[in-house]
Chains A and B, each alone.
Chain A
């Protein structure tokens, strides 16, 4: 396995990301998003197991009322994000499989915390009507109050909780 290439300058990557967001607004009329796609896929998966319960749920049922919940722009954007990420990672030699963790954390601890953290992020992004991309970045570029409130709350909570999980990362 060759040594992975260095990451690009963060300000350059930020400008590239910002121009991608502008493109999204110009072409789609909507910004970037990721958590919306995950929710749709989760709902479609749950629908295979328990169709009546999912369709009867007020929040999820609406996605099935007008057909396939996966025929939604953020589902396709998520697929594009995976592909674009893979192209970049493969070109830079950064596709080695593994569980990333700090030197003092076990694989089991890391995977349990990834699952638990994922659940909490899933709840939080539905409650806030978007995540770091759909709410913070896309809303912030349009100077929306809610985007700045969400961003502030996110950073505040992460800094407060970080010392509790120091062993996971450092």
Chain B
């Protein structure tokens, strides 16, 4: 059992442990170079694929470890909080998010690390993100059905596709490795062109 399943996530113990997890989160983002908005946005000009490499190696690592822990009875995946799958707002939200990411230079977590690194533009971005969330709250009552269109009763993609989660994890790892190979080739080509 975990804090979420026990309804203890927002108790003093839960808040303290969330802070400890956050320490690791911020540390690794900064080590990866994500306290720099120029490094974060360089992928969109095909110059530096660190965003893709870090994100997909993190996703694949966590997916593999969680599946192994589940198969050996160390964790029950159905007791974890899975982010909901509601496809229309997630397509629209993702399109806004991607545009705001390359214009603003940050996403929320990396902006926190940017602020910790002394970046004034990160502080301004975080102010904007706070304003944006209040703007959303203001218009949210008018959005009606849009907010629930594409709700998936089954959130898991492998389950929806009728394959086992282990097979799904293997597919994720293969796609990640192929993406790393492709990214390295593009980086090498751009380096030759820039030379």
Residues on A lying within 8 angstroms of B by beta carbon are 7-8, 10-11, 13-32, 34-35, 37-39, 41-43, 45-46, 57-60, 71-89, 92, 94-102, 110-111, 113-162, 165-166, 168-170
Contacts and interface: CB of A to CB of B under 8 A. Distances in A.
B84 to A, nearest CB: 6
Given A123-B133, A136-B59, 16 more contacts: A11-B180, A13-B28, A15-B61, A21-B58, A30-B4, A31-B80, A32-B109, A43-B134, A80-B19, A82-B113, A85-B29, A113-B105, A116-B104, A122-B129, A128-B92, A141-B58
B83 A38 contact: no
Contact of A119 (B19, B131, B168): B131
A145 B152 contact: yes
B75 A26 contact: yes
B156 A77 contact: no
A14 B26 CA distance: 12
Contact of A143 (B65, B89, B101, B168): B168
6 contacts: A14-B58, A28-B21, A38-B108, A110-B121, A128-B92, A149-B94
Contacts, number: 538
Interface of B: 2-6, 9-10, 14-33, 35-39, 41-42, 44-45, 47, 50, 53-63, 65-66, 69, 75, 77, 79-87, 89-122, 124-138, 140-141, 147, 152, 155-158, 160, 165, 168-169, 172, 180
B55 A14 contact: yes
B19 A79 contact: yes
A131 to B, nearest CB: 5
Given A7-B32, A128-B97, A152-B94, A84 B137 contact: no
A156 B95 contact: yes
Contacts of B112: 34, 78, 81-82, 85
Contacts of A60: 134, 137
A89 B113 contact: yes
A101 B105 CA distance: 9
Contacts of A57: 137-138, 141
A158 B102 CA distance: 6
Contact of B103 (A18, A116, A152): A116
Contact of B90 (A77, A118, A150): A150
Query: Is chain A's interface secondary structure helix, strand, loop, or mixed overall?
Result: helix
Interface centre among A24, A79, A148, A154 (most CB of B within 10 A): A154
Question: 5 closest A-B pairs (Cβ-Cβ)?
Answer: A117-B104, A122-B132, A80-B22, A118-B128, A153-B94
Contacts of A35: 108, 129, 133
Nearest to A15: B61
Nearest to A117: B104
A169 B23 contact: no
Contacts of B38: 100-102, 169
Contacts of B95: 124, 153-154, 156-157
B23 A87 contact: yes
B10 A80 contact: no
A146 B86 contact: yes
Contact of B82 (A71, A87, A100, A142): A142
Nearest to A11: B57
B102 A165 contact: yes
Contacts of A16: 24, 27-28, 31
A167 to B, nearest CB: 12
A38 B85 contact: no
